[in-house]
Amino acid sequence: MKPAQPVLSCLFACSLSSSPALAEVVLSDERPVLFFDVSAHVGLITQPNTKYGGPSIADFDNDGRYDVAVFDHNQTPVMFFRGHEDGQFTREKDMFRVADIHGVAPGDFDRDGDLDALISLGGGSGAKPQPPRMLRNDGEEGFTDVTELAGISAMGARGRAVRWLDLDLDGYLDCVTVNAPQTIRPDWPRNIMYRNLGDGTFEYVKNEVFENIHAEKSLVTDFDGDHRPDLLTFGPHAGFSFYRGLPEMGLEDVGEQVLPEALRDISGVNAAAYADIDGDGDLDYYLARGGLIHDIAMCEDGCDRLDVAFKLWEKQTQSLTFEAGNTLHLTDFSIVDRGHKMPDGMPIFLGAEKKKMNPPDRLKKWVWGHESQGFPEEMDQNGWYLGYLGDRQWKLAYFMESTNLAWTMQGSIRGIDSFEPGWEMNDPNLPDVLLRNDDGVFTDISSVLPPETGGISRGVTPGDFNNDGLEDFMVFRYGGLSTRVPDVVLLNRGDGSFESFTNHGGNDLGAIAHGDMGVAFDYDFDGDIDVVGGDEGGSWRLFANRLRDEVADPENHHYILIHVGYSAETGMDPIGAKLSLTSASGTQTRVVGSGATAFSQSLLNTAHFGLGSDSQVESVKIVWRDGSEQAVSNLQANQKIEAGKDRP
């Protein structure tokens, strides 16, 4: 196909001015990446809450600046923060009301030049299957719910991940929903596929392969490089596999053909990301893994503190014994109930006499053996039960009259020596997986990953964090039951190995929270990759990367930004567009899309390339998914390039 004539303009990126404190920090080989929390400074202000799988980052209003859509499961609406040219954000009208929200996905389904949204809703543990909500972007009027008008309201599910992708390559974005198993409506498919008819409406497409995929999350990608979307499906309770896109809205499970045999049955994948880590032009994949953090006990600080966590929707009672002296400290007891059915929480009943006390949250309470003598013969009220059995032996248990009253509960006890669970504990620590793409077949190279990736990884995002021309990863780690651990930046060394860094400042270690999921992108277009992340139990935060400020030598950290709009030749939207950049150091590849997903999807259509010491770009080629092309050459580094056009 003949390339279109370039439609380009060059904009030099500007950065926020640094505070005096930043100038005092010097990057070094020991600290090659440095983040600062600028959430309050830029207006991205939220409150601590639960999370459900990451932010959605996209330029919803098509003004050239990234916007942020975030939510806190069923505790907040979908909050919409509009990005501005000065790097600030303002919270606009909420995108969607408070509900059992499980994910957000941006895409221009009606081809009017701005991004609409899909919202995934839970199905009440299967009792109330819900269709996804389709929100049309009506500009200054906000987002309008057109679910019924679009024709996707007839069937519901236990919604998990919603995705936009052009399965039939007709230029209009289709959508799929990947869900938990149906229970009350087994006649409805588990996963649902809809074809975009191009007139604002969709039709259900029966696809038995897709409908029976056992997964709860998916990553839209193109692992075989044919410009047709493929799917990587995964989930914490399921295996993972690759599905190749076929004509006529088809999908083919090719896991047995492309995956190493030892990996075909692994589970516990919480998030996935793609990046060309070896510069060969195809996409490699990182799988962040970790097991369930429920029905377990963790002994920390030399077994002085015992942390316990239980998943209440499966068992009505559970117990353990531990050895300790005559005095205990109880702290950080909490419960996540189901629909506020337990307004009084979970009390603690002490000893055989079941003396009732309120559970301590973040403050310590003292418990003495003499007031906790014995253990009751019957547990007949919802709550914790704690008793001293004598000879330094204690017993802790919980009882729930119904498993549908609460989701989880946990607590911490200080002053113990050892413990013995009354059940077979699962090990939540699972090694992450790194797959190298060798002409469409994958090789397991996980052995190059450092030890920090062998615990509980809840998220991952790719990006060239030090602008050396090599794609890196940031892995979000859950930590202990009551402790936050630093997330890990994995710097690509270019020799097939990665080096880990945890002293980068890109997480809130002081919060009583856990790592969850984030997205790396250049929010202020200053040439370095920043991160928006959300902690489980914490706030959403924006961490600005100050690589190119006075804390680093910018001459060794050049960059270029390529904003990909609609194809100038055909009007094709940028999803799936492939960029190939060549400079003196070699060739780099980016694919416009989400880059990484847990439940929510992003659309990052300003591709960031680190150039290291290269001050010139020899050429950039952009190929949209319909085959239309655009190419430019001889570009100076450290600027933003506009490719394509603003509207279809």
pLDDT at 339: 67
Question: What confidence tier does 556 reach under pLDDT thresholds 50, 70, 90?
Answer: confident
Stretch 551-568: mean pLDDT: 89
pLDDT at 72: 95
pLDDT at 5 over 70: no
pLDDT at 168: 96
Strand pairing report for 383-390 and 348-350: parallel
Question: What confidence tier does 183 reach under pLDDT thresholds 50, 70, 90?
Answer: confident
Stretch 514-532: mean pLDDT: 97
pLDDT at 212 over 90: yes
Q: How many percent of the chain have pLDDT more than 90?
A: 79
Q: Which residue has the higher pLDDT, 17 or 159?
A: 159
In DSSP terms, 500 is beta-bridged to 490
pLDDT at 550: 62
- 356 to 319, 369, 411: CA distances (angstroms): 18, 15, 17
pLDDT at 336: 82
pLDDT at 10: 33
Within 10 angstroms of residue 462's Cβ, the number of other Cβ atoms is: 26
pLDDT at 23 over 50: no
pLDDT at 119 over 50: yes
Q: Which of 15-19, 177-181, 619-623 has the least mean pLDDT?
A: 15-19
pLDDT at 294: 85
pLDDT at 414: 92
Stretch 34-38: mean pLDDT: 95
Q: Domain boundaries in the chain?
A: 35-292+427-550, 297-421, 556-643
Strand pairing report for 348-350 and 355-357: antiparallel
Q: How many percent of the chain have pLDDT more than 70?
A: 94
Write out pLDDT tens, residues 313-369: 778 999 999 999 999 999 989 888 876 677 778 899 999 999 999 988 877 899 999
| Distance from C-alpha of 520 to C-alpha of 66, rounded to nearest angstrom | 12
Question: What confidence tier does 18 reach under pLDDT thresholds 50, 70, 90?
Answer: very low
pLDDT at 9: 31
| Distance from C-alpha of 396 to C-alpha of 374, rounded to nearest angstrom | 11
pLDDT at 127: 81
Q: Which residue has the higher pLDDT, 16 or 635?
A: 635
pLDDT at 342: 78
pLDDT at 27: 60
Show the beta-strand stretches assigned E in 108-191. 116-121, 133-137, 143-145, 158-165, 174-180
Judge: domain 35-292+427-550, CATH 2.30.40.10.
no
Write out pLDDT tens, residues 465-480: 999 999 999 999 999 8
Give every CB contact of residue 543 below 8 A, 6+ residues apart in sequence: 35, 36, 37, 38, 505, 506, 507, 530, 531, 532, 533
Question: What confidence tier does 422 reach under pLDDT thresholds 50, 70, 90?
Answer: very high
pLDDT at 236: 87
Judge: domain 297-421, CATH 3.10.105.
no
Stretch 519-538: mean pLDDT: 96
pLDDT at 411: 93
Question: What confidence tier does 30 reach under pLDDT thresholds 50, 70, 90?
Answer: low
Write out pLDDT tens, residues 590-610: 999 999 999 999 999 999 999
pLDDT at 196: 98
DSSP state of 16: P
pLDDT at 337: 80
pLDDT at 340: 66
Q: Which of 341-345, 432-436, 545-549 has the least mean pLDDT?
A: 341-345
Class of domain 556-643: mainly beta
Q: Which of 393, 378, 233, 266 is nearest to 325 (CA)?
A: 393
Stretch 85-105: mean pLDDT: 96
Beginning with the edge strand found earlier in the chain, give each strand of the sheet holding 530-536 in spatial order: 35-37, 540-545, 530-536, 514-521
